[in-house]
Each structure stands twice: as C-alpha cells, then as structure tokens.
Amino acid sequence: MHQEDIVIVTLKVNGVERPLAVEPRRLLCDALREDLGLTGTNLGCEQGVCGSCTVLVDGESVRSCLMFAVQAGGCEITTVEGLASGETLHPLQAAFWEKQALQCGFCTPGFLMAGVELLRRNPEPDEAGVRAALAGNTCRCTGYEHIVDAVLAAADGAARERTFAEEPEVDVAAEVVAREGR
Amino acid sequence: MKPPSFRYFAARSADEAVGLLAEHGAGARVLAGGQSLVQEMNARRVAPEVLVDVNPAAELAFVRQENGTLSIGALTRTSQVESDATLDGSLTGLREAAARVGHVAVRNRGTVGGNLAHADPAANLPPVMLALDAEVVARGSGGDRSISAANFFLGPHRTALAPAELLTEVRLPLPPEGAGSAFIEVSRRDRGWGIAGAAAVVALDREGGISDARIGLSGVGPTAVRARPAEEVVIGERPSAELWKAAAGAAAAALDAPPSDVHASGRYRRHLAGVLVARALAAAADRAERRN
Ligand code: FES
Ligand code: FES
C-alpha cells in the first residue's frame, strides 16, 4: 500500500467530527467499528443482504457495508450509539425493551435505525407499513412479531419513557445469600 | 469479506467522470449507488483497479418533465422516483417498479442509472423502460449519444455502453393523455429478488378500445424483453378478462427458453410471465379507464 492510497476524510458521527486516514476500500461500517470504536453497528453478511449494518446517512437509512468511508465525508452519520440521550433511551429503544423485541440483539441496531427512519417519514405507520419498512432487516431469533409490535408501540407513544438509571441495582451476591442462606 | 483495494476518484460532474474513465481505461468502473458493485467487490467477484465515484456529480440527479418528455438523471435515487408524486397518472407503473427495487436502504442509495447499466435480467427498471419506449443517454469523450432501451440491453450485465461511456440520463416520451401503467412482480419473499416481473402501458381511445399497449418483462431471459405478441393480441380490442387471458397465452408461448435456477424452473417462469402480463395489462387498463 502506498502512502498516496491513504485518504483523509472527516466523518461527522452522532454530531461529532472525526477525522480519519483510510484506504479508499475501507467500508463505512469498518471505519465506524474499527477506526472509531463504534461497535454498536453490527456486521452480518457484509454484502448488503441482512440489514444489521444499517446506519443513517443524512437521515436516510443505508447499508454501511455497501458504502466506502471516503464517500461519507461531509455527511451526517447516525449510528445506534447516537439514539439514546445520556441514560434516557430513545423512544424506539424503550419500545423494544417493553415489547421484548430482541433476543440475542445482533440485528437490533439495524432494526432500530430502519425503524427510526420509518417513524420520521411516517409517524403513524400501519402494520403493513412497518413490515415493508423493516423487510430489509433479517432477525434470526424473534420471529419479527415483537419487533413490529415495538415499532407500532413507539408510533403510538405507548412505550413509557425508560432510563437505565431507573433499573434498580441488583446485588447478585446478596440475593444468593438471601436465597440459599450462605 | 472486505473489498479488494482500488484507486478512488470523486467526479464532481459528468464531464469529469467521463474524463476519468477515458484516462484510466478498462480497469475503471463507475461507482454510483454501489448496491450491486460494492456487494460484488465485497464478495471478491470483481476487483476494479479504479473507481470513479459519480455521487458528487449532483447535476446527474433530477426528474424533469418538459415538452412531453420525462428525463431522469442517472444519479437519481430509486427512492426519489418511488416518492415522486408528479409521476402519478400515466407513470404510476414506474413508481411501482421503483418502490420494489430491494428494500428501503437499498433504494435510498441505488440509482436509476445504476439499475439500468447493471443490466441484471431480473431488475425492475429495464422492463419499464422497454414498455415506456425510453432512450438512454450515454456520454463519452466525443459527446452524447442516445440509445433506445430496445438496443441497450445486450445480455446479463451487458449493455451497449462503451467502457469509457457514462450513462447520464434516461428520457422517455410521456404516455398519451389517459394512458395507464402498472408494474407487477413475483418474488419468493415480499420485496425479495424478483423471479419475474411485467410492466404494461395501456392507452384507451374515446370508445374505450385499446389504442396502444406496450409490455416489458423481466426475469424470463438474458435481458428484459418486450412482449410484442401479447401487445398485438390486445391492440384494437376492448379490455376484458378473456382478452388478458389471450395476451397471457401469447406472451408465454413467445418466450425463448426462460432460465431455470434455484429460484424457479424455466417452465414456471414461462407460466408466470403469462400471469404477470395478464395482471399488469388489467391494472394498467383499469387505471386508464379511471383517468378517461
Ligand atoms: S452486513 Fe451490511 S447488509 Fe448485512
Ligand atoms: S434478536 Fe437475534 S438476530 Fe434478531
């Protein structure tokens, strides 16, 4: 690799400008994960089929495995890390929690980004609209029903606000002692 | 997998892209939406030495209707065509076809020019362009030339574009007042890869007879094809279920060995082509009737 093959590009990710030196072949997903440490964006197929790598570029969902980092200079990129504000989950994340819309969670970041785009374009989708918008995302665990429920619930504003801070700290050792008397 | 290395050039205009293609020769490829090319690079099926990225060439993204002609810039995203309400009326079929090019994230990036230049036999836009009598504008170092859609698709992933030519736009005559159009496809999973698709444009005269009909098919041969025998069956007749059935039979019978693959047998594709022709004609004629 020659020095001249390295390109300097500044990615604006979740509102923060991040200058990078990358080879042109660096996929956007790898720049996010490897160079910027934003490992929330998952890679399933690396060929545009599964949707797990979905991020928003200038507000629109794209498969980050089908875009080169050098193409994203000057764009506003939103990844799953950009959804929650502080300890407060994004309403769609809260709805996924409420509706148990994830099991292993591998597909979840992609579904969230696709769902966020849908709700921005159409704040009141019907079930068919949700299914069409999520059709490009594959989940191997949930069977999709709870994911669709979660997006509809978020659209209804039905999912209650939830923060990480609300969750009571669990002292596992103390629980074991209490239960087993040791 | 990860894509092989290449040299990258961003083209800010069509002319700059054409210059870069000429300069770098046969090893150079145009990068538009990247929804097929980058996938193939990731799978290491292709390894271009040079990519000429036309995404910065904003002049190539437009949808214009003037003087009875619709022009769509090559860099127009499929999602823009899908959501362009000015195309409603006689061009509903074009919107329908665009709305079924892969999934949302694919349509947000994938381009009209890329869909045509990639020339996949099962792609949605080629049969629509055949049915709409479109022409493709190709720019080379010697200037622009236009190629009719009928002469553009030469085989699977092969087109009449010369290596150093850039597809800059597609133009088509607006269908006559009161025409209707439709696109219908069948895929194993909703919005998955199409097994076959049919685009139809139907124009009705004052008495409700069919004054013109054009049909394009995808997924039934090495390129998208016109279903002329089916067109001949319906022109001059009045819309009816029996007529669509006769057109279906003519379309299916005229196909030259539809391909068999893991998705469907050639026999099924032939059957499907007939069914799709009938449904697309019925939908297009129904829309034409509503508009008259
Ligand atoms: S990893 Fe990008 S679509 Fe599967
Ligand atoms: S939750 Fe496991 S793949 Fe979707």
Q: Which of B6, B41, B105 sits opposite A62 (nearest CB)?
A: B105
Most informative mutation of A28, A49, A111 for ligand 1 (most atoms within 8 A of CB): A49
Q: What is the ipTM of this complex?
A: 0.93
Query: Considering the domain B60-173, what is its CATH architecture?
Result: 2-Layer Sandwich (3.30)
Identify the nearest ligand to the CA of A138 by its number: 2
B235-279: per-residue pLDDT in tens? 999 999 999 999 999 999 999 999 999 999 999 999 999 999 999
To which residue do tokens 């690396």 refer? Answer: A46
Q: How far apart are CA B173 and CA B65, in angstroms?
A: 10
Tell whether B43 is within 8 A of chain A (Cβ): yes
- Give yes or no for residue B217 having a pLDDT over 70: yes
CATH 3.10.20.30 describes domain A1-82: yes
Q: Domain ranges for chain A, please list them.
A: 1-82, 83-182
- Among A22, A45, A65, A66, most B C-beta atoms within 10 A, so best to mutate, is A66
Q: What is the mean pLDDT of chain B?
A: 96
Pick the CATH number of B180-291 from 2.60.40.10, 3.30.2130.10, 3.40.50.300, 3.30.390.50: 3.30.390.50
To which residue do tokens 């400008």 refer? Answer: A17
**What's the pLDDT score for residue B197?**
97
Averages of pLDDT over runs of 10 residues in chain A (182 residues) are 78 97 97 98 96 98 98 97 95 96 97 97 95 96 96 81 55 65 56
- Taking CA–CA distances from A54, the nearest residue in chain B reads B105
Classify A141 as helix, strand or coil. coil
CATH topology of domain A83-182: DNA polymerase; domain 1 (1.10.150)
Q: Where in chain B is the domain with CATH 3.30.465.10?
A: 60-173
CATH topology of domain B7-53: 3.30.43
**What's the pLDDT score for residue A169?**
59
Q: Where in chain B is the domain with CATH 3.30.390.50?
A: 180-291
State pTM to two decimals: 0.92
Judging contacts by C-beta atoms under 8 Å, the chain A residues touching residue B48 are none
Interval B189-206 mean pLDDT: 91
Q: Which of A25, A46, A60 sits opposite B108 (nearest CB)?
A: A60
Measuring CA to CA, which residue among A71, A82, A61, A93 is closest to residue A22?
A71
**What's the pLDDT score for residue A123?**
93
Q: How far apart are CA B137 and CA B147, in angstroms?
A: 6
Q: Where in chain B is the domain with CATH 3.30.43.10?
A: 7-53
